[in-house]
Every structure is written in C-alpha cells, then in structure tokens.
Structure 1
Amino acid sequence: MTQFALAELLTECIVKILALDTTSGACSVALYSGGQVCEQFVRAERDHTRRLLPMVDQVLADSGLSLSQLDALAVSRGPGSFTGLRIAISFTQGLAFAADKPVVPVSSLAALAAGARRSHPEWGDSPIVAMLDARMQQVYWGIYSAGAPHDSLLAEAVQDPDRVVQSLRESDLPQPAYGAGPGWHYPEFVDAPVAQCDMDTPIHAREIAELALPLWQNGAAVAAEELEPLYLRDEVTWQKRQKIRSK
C-alpha cells in the first residue's frame, strides 16, 4: 500500500462531526475530526439564520472537508431559547437531508457544563451545576460530573430559583461544586451550595461536537426527520394554563 493510499484510508477512518448551536446568546459551528476541533463562534442575540451558513462553509473550508465527507451532524437539542432551538434544529435538519447524514442530539446544559470545565481547569472533577435562564422567573438546570458528562445527576428540569436551591441542598451534592451559565443571575442563588459561579460561560459548538462523538459511537444518532427539540417547558405551560382556567 502506498503512503497516499494509507493516508486516504486513515482519513476515512477518522470520525468527522459537524456541530451547531444557537441555544442562547451566541452562534457557533464546530467541526470535530480525529481529535481536532475547528470552530467559528460569535456572541449574537440575533441574525443566527444569516450567520450559520457562512460559518458552516468556513469551518468546512478550514478543515478541508465537504459535507458529504462527514459521518454525522450534531446539534444542541435543548433546553434553551425556543427560537434559538428551532433555528439550530431546522438548519441542521436541512444539512442532514441534503447530505443524507444522521444527527446526534446533545443536551445544551451538558455542553454548557463541559465548556465551563474546559474554561476552569482549577475546578477539576467537581460537579458543575449548569443553568440557563428560562424566563418567567425560572431556570433550566442540571448537574454534570466529569465521569459522566452527558447525563445530569438529577433529571434536567425547569424550576423556580428557590426550588432549585432547595433541590441542591437536599441532593447531598458532592463538595466543592461549581455553577455555570447565565441562569445564575437570580438573587435567590446567593444561598446556593456552590463554591464559585461563572455566569458568563457560553455554550460552544465544540463541546457539542466532542460530546456527540461517544453518543454517535454508541448508536444515539437519529435520522433528520426524527430530530426533536427538548423544551422542558411543556408541562409547566400546561400547569399554568390549568391554573388560569380554574380561576
């Protein structure tokens, strides 16, 4: 086998995943290929739809790959902004249909925690409580360990801040624990059992791509038409409607 043929074979064996995120106040696209990540990231509350395609084209060009050479796409499935989730998921579905590729849905809270762990190596393997603002005086939140970065130690939920604090106190959360994400801005969290909190931690597509790799290897990818966002808000909305009707 020639060196060229061997290099071509090794390239084909390397897993290549394109990831997208518009869950919160940022827009990012990343391509994972053989342990290397190429990412485009911009903080932007608006214009996600206009920004995504040029960012995808750029990371593909920088990586020297085409859409057809990918193994899968990955996207944050939520929870998060309703509009942001729909933009990322619809755009990912379009790419997946065009290239006939599967999609790996990744928790946006898990990606937030993974990004915080990368930004704060001093936090070590301590659990990270990831939190996004759900509006309506509520937050989306979950707790992630270094050993199981995909699965929250408590089920991901949308709750009032005071209920979150109560849940954290009752959970016997290993200490020290840390907080990450913009949802931590509520004053009720001053008494939360965390040693430090970084409210400026954004969600990056690079973490979505890296978290997607073992999920893809374990068969967690879905067809584009099966991709659905996770809002966590449906039950809460239904309960509020029931309360209004009962008055």
Structure 2
Amino acid sequence: MKILALDTTSGACSAALLCDGQVSERFVRAERDHTRRLLPMVDEVLAEAGLVLGQLDALAVSRGPGSFTGLRIAISCTQGLAFAADKPVIPVSSLAALAAGARRAHPQWQASPIVAMLDARMQQVYWGIYGAAAPNDSLVPEAVQNPAQVLQTLQSADLPRPLYGAGPGWHYFSAAAAPAEFAEAPVAATDLEVPIRAREIAELALPLWERGATVSAEELEPLYLRNEVTWQKRQKIRSK
C-alpha cells in the first residue's frame, strides 16, 4: 500500500509517504512559505522511495478543522496531484492526527483517550477526543466551542480515565491564561507543543482506505466547523 500524505494545517508543513508499512517524512515548522515548501517535500519522499506519482494507491490530507489558509494550501495541492495522477483522496481529521502525534510523543499515553485541541481564535477551540482503539473517530462530535463549553463536556461526559490533552488550544486552560475554574479540566497532563504531522495522517489514512472512506479530487472539501466565518472569507476571496 502506497499513500502520500500532506499537511499544512497549522504552524508546520510536512509530506509523508507510507510505503508497504514504512513511513518516510519531510517536516518543518514554518508559519509561512507552505506553498513554496510543500511540493519539493513531495518530490523528496517519492524520490527516496524510487516512486512516481502514478504508482501511488491514494493521497491523504488533513481535512480540518484548522486555519482557513493552512487547510486550503494542502487541500489545493492534494487536489492538483490527485487530478494529475487520477488517484482517490483519503481525508483525515487534523484533530485525530494531533492525538496520534501525542501518542507517539508520549508512549505512556497509549491506552488513554487524548483530548486534541486547536486554537480557533475568537476565544474558541476546535476539539475532539480520540481513543486508542478507533483513533480516527472522536468519542464526542468534533466541535468549535468556547473553553467553558469544553470544560462542561469533559466534566460531565462518561469517559475513560485518565484523559490527556494535546495541542495549542490548551493554552486557554493554562494557569497564566485561564480563569481559575478552567484549571479543573480533568486531564492528567497536557502537551501544547505537539504538532500535526503528515506521518500520522498517512498512518490514519490506511484504516480509512480499508473502510472505503475515499473521495475523488472533485469531492474533496475542507471541514472548517465554523462555517459562517469561512463563508465570509470565501466570499471576500472570490470578490477580489
């Protein structure tokens, strides 16, 4: 199985190739220049494996949620490559990829649910909870909410314990930034620095491929969750 995965969801840019169970990756933390960096990364991972685009089985990409600009870069690039090679696309949740990256960084978290959280701005977060048994599927619906709403769900939902937190959205719950009651979030530990990486997207794409969760390049759409804001941005771009 050969899957090429791309990600530019947040402050990083990466491309990875899953080839017969082995993953090779190019990754860089960069707030800008994602458009310039991404295609050379694709060329490098393909060349390293001695493959060309047409030999892939599928492409995978982070479908969101995440920043409007970041998602658009990776998805546009994936669409172009999928069109050129006539290959299907496997959309992967960026929050699921974040949780999977946290498990790789913290082996002691392996058996526990991970609360993945991205900063959605405007005092809100994108978030979901991912267990080890079904790492693509959130235990609660992925949502964009304010921290108080997240805290209420975490405190009231019947979830396995301990929980761990991953992603920059957790800064709203830090002692320096949050009201005192947010410190009561029922997580054993958090990692705000763990990034979303294409290698996790490639690995998560494999079980999705096996369940037939693919789309054509034409059907590929980002998931923003905050649809009203996204629509306004799209309208501004189209009017230019």
TM-score scaled by length of structure 2: 0.91
Paired residue for 2:88?
102
Amino acid at match of 1:177: L
Secondary structure, aligned partner of 1:142:
strand
Offset from partner CA, 1:88-133 (integer Å, 9 cap, x none): 1000000000111110000000000001001100113100000000
1:146 to 107, 120, 132: 132
Bigger mean CA deviation after superposition, 210-219 or 185-194: 185-194
Paired residue for 2:68?
82
Amino acid at match of 1:202: P
Bigger mean CA deviation after superposition, 180-189 or 142-151: 180-189
Mapping 1:113-192, distance limit 5 Å: 113-186=99-172, 187-188=178-179, 189-192=182-185
1:42 to 4, 28, 34: 28
Paired residue for 2:189?
196
The CA distance in 2 between the partners of 1:26 and 1:97, in whole Å, is: 25
Offset from partner CA, 1:22-76 (integer Å, 9 cap, x none): 0011000000011100000000111000001110000001111110100000000
Paired residue for 1:53?
39
**Quick check: which has more Rg, 1 or 2?**
1
Paired residue for 1:27?
13
Paired residue for 1:92?
78
Secondary structure, aligned partner of 2:40:
helix
Paired residue for 2:237?
none
The CA distance in 2 between the partners of 1:122 and 1:44, in whole Å, is: 29
- Aligned CA-pair RMSD: 1.2
The CA distance in 1 between the partners of 2:208 and 2:113, in whole Å, is: 21
Paired residue for 1:62?
48
The CA distance in 1 between the partners of 2:14 and 2:128, in whole Å, is: 22
Shift of 1:174: 1.5
Contact 2:72 2:222 in 1 (8 A): yes
Paired residue for 1:225?
218
Paired residue for 1:213?
206
C-alpha distance 125-235 of structure 1, shift in aligned 2 (>3 A): farther
Shift of 1:219: 1.1
Shift of 1:235: 5.4
The CA distance in 1 between the partners of 2:97 and 2:70, in whole Å, is: 15
The CA distance in 2 between the partners of 1:135 and 1:104, in whole Å, is: 27
C-alpha distance 192-215 of structure 1, shift in aligned 2 (>3 A): same
The CA distance in 2 between the partners of 1:113 and 1:237, in whole Å, is: 24
Secondary structure, aligned partner of 2:153:
helix
Secondary structure, aligned partner of 1:104:
strand
Amino acid at match of 1:232: L
- Runs (4+) off by over 2 Å: 235-238
Amino acid at match of 1:212: A
The CA distance in 2 between the partners of 1:237 and 1:213, in whole Å, is: 29
Identity percentage of aligned residues: 79
Q: Which runs of 5+ in 1 are unaligned?
A: 1-14, 239-247
